Amino acid sequence: MYDAIIIGAGAAGLSAALWCEELGLDALVLEAGAEVGGQLLNVYNPVNNYLGLRAENGRALRDIFAAQIAECEFDLWTETEIESVDLKAKRVSLKSGEALQSIGLVLATGVRRRRLGIPGEAELAGRGVVDSVMRDRELLAGRDVCVIGGGDAAAENALLLAEVCPTVTLVHRGKRLSARAEFVERLRSEHCVTIFTESEAQRIIGEERVEAIEILRRGAIKPFQMAVGGVLVRVGVQPNDELFRGQLRQDERGYVAVSSEQETSVENVFAVGDISNPHSPTISSATGAGATAAKVLAARLSHKRQ
């Protein structure tokens, strides 16, 4: 019996575990991946907005976090696959057959990048379909590229590619880009950038690597193909809610609804980090939410045990 089982070892989950130890709670952290860090491992640009620390990238910041928790005594299990979670019973069943019980649960499962699900996207991953411009920009330099999406991330990445690529085509299914006005203005001033709105990518084409992309414009009878050597998909993120979907209150996108104490609609089940924060998904808000959940649970258990 644990006081708290924390699912996910990103910034929010690690913060919750750190505070559980600080407050005398017996905590277990479960992480499906081989290492801790969550979305920090996908941040390739410098981290300059986390108060008190600067880091070369997300992994470097993760290393600072990891060094701190290495001194802690809470249990941390990586490469641990969960079969199911019963939120009301506070029971976690692992694919290994083991069943774990706790008084409180902290859901810190985060989000993942949304994919298009079109032919060629998965097949050509790493062979022209890139995951990060900051990491792979030099590999795309000198190639015609396509960025799919219309938000800040898509616009910012298109601008970075415009510095090293002959042409950059931005494809967005909406009538207008949702990116900030300053990004849109800069995109329109770049002569190498072409913007296709009301358009959707249908297929990414290539044998050994990306050779072309097929695009369907709204109102057109059939799609057209455009030769490109690289594709970046930035169409937002989606919550990792599969383990607990339908057991608590969520919004239409799958984000978990929480109170000011980070508690979900199920008593003593908390949700922290990006899974419950679509409006401000930052490292700072994630660590703060983890601390809040741990302090609320600790106060309740202390009161109950008195």
Binned at pLDDT 50, 70 and 90, residue 169 comes out as very high
Ordered by where they begin, the domains of the chain are 2-113+237-305 (3.50.50.60), 129-233 (3.50.50.60)
Q: What is the pLDDT of residues 18-45, one digit of tens each?
A: 999 999 999 999 999 999 999 999 888 8
Burial of 217 (0-12, 13-18, 19+ CB in 10 A): middle
- Please, which residues have CB within 8 angstroms of residue 122's CB and are 6 or more apart in sequence? 115
Binned at pLDDT 50, 70 and 90, residue 236 comes out as very high
Task: Give the angle 285-288-79 at the CA atoms, nearest 5°.
Answer: 85
Cα R_g (the chain), whole angstroms? 22
pLDDT of 144 > 90? The answer is yes
